[in-house]
Amino acid sequence: MAQNNIESTLHENRHFPPSESFCKNSALNHKKLDALYVKASEDYEAFWGDLAKQELDWIKPFSKTLDDSNAPFYKWFADGELNVSYNCLDRQLKDNANKTAIIFEGEPGDIQHITYQVLYEKVCVFANALKKQGIKKGDRVIIYMPMVTEAVVAMQACARIGAIHSVVFGGFSAEALKDRVEDTQAKLVITADGGHRGGKIIPLKNTADQALSKGCKSVETVIVFQRCNNDINMQDGRDIWWHDAEQEQSAECEPEPMNASDPLFLLYTSGSTGKPKGIQHSSAGYLLNAINTMRWVFDIQEKDVFWCTADVGWVTGHTYVAYGPLAVGATMIIYEGVPTVPDAGRFWDVCARHHVTIFYTAPTAIRALMKAGDEIPQRYDLSHLRLLGTVGEPINPEAWMWYHRVIGQERCPIVDTWWQTETGAHMIAPVPAVTVTKPGSCTRALPGIDAAVVNEQGEALGPNQGGFLVIRKPWPAMIQTIWGDDQRYKDTYWPYFDGKYYLAGDSARIDEEGYFWIMGRIDDVLNVSGHRLGTMEIESALVAHESVAEAAVVGKPHEVKGESVFAYVVLKGERPEGGVDEDMTNELRAWVAEQIGPIAKPDEIRYSDNLPKTRSGKIMRRLLRAIAKGEEITQDTSTLENEGILLQLQGKA
Pick from 213, 181, 207, 172: nearest CA to 192 = 207
Q: Which C-beta is closer to ligand WTA: that of 296 or that of 314?
A: 314
Q: Confirm if 351 and 382 have CB atoms less than 8 A apart.
A: yes
Going by C-beta distance under 8 Å and a sequence separation of 6 or more, which residues neighbour residue 86? 57, 160, 255
Residue 322 CB, nearest distance to ligand WTA (Å)?
14
Of 62, 116, 335, 419, the one binding ligand WTA (CB under 6 A) is 419
Residue 426 CB, nearest distance to ligand WTA (Å)?
9
Of 78, 168, 212, 442, the one binding ligand WTA (CB under 6 A) is 442
Of 65, 396, 421, 437, the one binding ligand WTA (CB under 6 A) is 421
Residue 506 is labelled as binding a ligand: yes
Q: Which stretch binds ligand WTA (CB under 6 A): 55-63, 154-162, 386-394, 637-645?
A: 386-394
List beta partners, residue 154. Answer: none
Amino acid letter at 87?
A: N
Q: Which stretch binds ligand WTA (CB under 6 A): 291-299, 412-420, 578-586, 597-605?
A: 412-420
Residue 521 is labelled as binding a ligand: yes
Residue 238 is labelled as binding a ligand: no
Three-state SS for 256-324 is: CCEECCCEEEEEEECCCCCCCEEEEEECHHHHHHHHHHHHHCCCCCCCCEEEECCCCCCHHHHHHHHHH
C-alpha to C-alpha distance for 209 and 202, rounded to whole angstroms: 14
Residue whose CB is nearest to ligand WTA in the complex, by number = 421
Q: What is the CA angle 624-627-628, rounded to 5?
A: 85
Residue 211 CB, nearest distance to ligand WTA (Å)?
22
Q: Which stretch binds ligand WTA (CB under 6 A): 152-160, 347-355, 410-418, 487-495?
A: 410-418
Chain centroid to CA 190: how far? 20
Q: Confirm if 461 and 469 have CB atoms less than 8 A apart.
A: no
Q: Which C-beta is closer to ligand WTA: that of 195 or that of 389?
A: 389
Q: Which C-beta is closer to ligand WTA: that of 242 or that of 419?
A: 419
Residues 268-307 that bind ligand WTA (CB under 6 A): 269
Of 376, 518, 605, 645, the one binding ligand WTA (CB under 6 A) is 518
Site string for ligand WTA, 479-498 (x = CB under 6 A): --------------------
Residue 392 is labelled as binding a ligand: yes
Of 417, 435, 492, 529, the one binding ligand WTA (CB under 6 A) is 417
Q: Confirm if 412 and 299 have CB atoms less than 8 A apart.
A: no
Residue 362 CB, nearest distance to ligand WTA (Å)?
9
Pick from 113, 91, 95, 96: nearest CA to 104 = 113
CA distances from 605 to 116, 325, 561, 652 (A): 50, 42, 17, 14
Residue 521 CB, nearest distance to ligand WTA (Å)?
5
Q: Which C-beta is closer to ligand WTA: that of 173 or that of 421?
A: 421
Residues 176-195 that bind ligand WTA (CB under 6 A): none
Of 393, 537, 539, 563, the one binding ligand WTA (CB under 6 A) is 393
Q: Confirm if 205 and 241 have CB atoms less than 8 A apart.
A: no
Task: Count Cα neighbours of 229 within 13 Å in the Cβ-side half-sphere.
Answer: 0
Q: Confirm if 160 and 83 have CB atoms less than 8 A apart.
A: yes
Q: 3-state DSSP call for residue 539?
A: helix
Phi, psi (rounded to 5 degrees) for 616 = -85, 5
Residue 200 is labelled as binding a ligand: yes
Q: Which C-beta is closer to ligand WTA: that of 107 or that of 506?
A: 506
List beta partners, residue 67. Answer: 75
Residue 314 CB, nearest distance to ligand WTA (Å)?
6
Going by C-beta distance under 8 Å and a sequence separation of 6 or more, which residues neighbour residue 273? 534, 536
Site string for ligand WTA, 522-561 (x = CB under 6 A): -----x----x-----------------------------
Cβ neighbours of 31 (radius 10 Å): 8
Residue 444 CB, nearest distance to ligand WTA (Å)?
13
C-alpha to C-alpha distance for 176 and 73, rounded to whole angstroms: 28
Q: Which C-beta is closer to ligand WTA: that of 297 or that of 305?
A: 297
Q: Which stretch binds ligand WTA (CB under 6 A): 57-65, 120-128, 413-421, 592-600?
A: 413-421
Residue 483 is labelled as binding a ligand: no
Number of residues that bind ligand WTA (CB under 6 A): 22
Q: Which C-beta is closer to ligand WTA: that of 255 or that of 424?
A: 424
Residues 305-324 that bind ligand WTA (CB under 6 A): 314-316
Residue 534 CB, nearest distance to ligand WTA (Å)?
12
Cβ neighbours of 383 (radius 10 Å): 11
Of 418, 475, 501, 607, the one binding ligand WTA (CB under 6 A) is 418
Residue 532 is labelled as binding a ligand: yes
SS3 content of the chain, % helix, strand, coil (to 5): 30, 25, 45
C-alpha to C-alpha distance for 121 and 127, rounded to whole angstroms: 10
Residue 418 is labelled as binding a ligand: yes
Site string for ligand WTA, 64-103 (x = CB under 6 A): ----------------------------------------
Residue 224 CB, nearest distance to ligand WTA (Å)?
28
What is the crossing angle of helices 44-55 and 284-296, to 10°? Answer: 90
Say what the alpha-carbon torsion angle 512, 514, 517, 519 is, to the nearest 10 degrees: 70
Residue 516 CB, nearest distance to ligand WTA (Å)?
9
- Scored b (16 or more CB within 10 A) or e, 401-436 reads bbbbebbbeebbbbbbbbbbbbbbbbbbbbbbbbbe
Of the chain, the end-to-end C-alpha distance in Å amounts to: 35
Q: Which C-beta is closer to ligand WTA: that of 192 or that of 528?
A: 528
Residue 576 CB, nearest distance to ligand WTA (Å)?
35
Q: Which stretch binds ligand WTA (CB under 6 A): 321-329, 365-373, 390-398, 643-651?
A: 390-398
Residue 393 is labelled as binding a ligand: yes
Residues 12-31 that bind ligand WTA (CB under 6 A): none
Residues annotated as binding site for Mg(2+)? 543, 545, 548
Binding site for CoA, by residue number, is 197-200, 316, 529
Binding site for ligand WTA (CB under 6 A): 269, 314-316, 391-394, 416-421, 442, 504-506, 518, 521, 527, 532
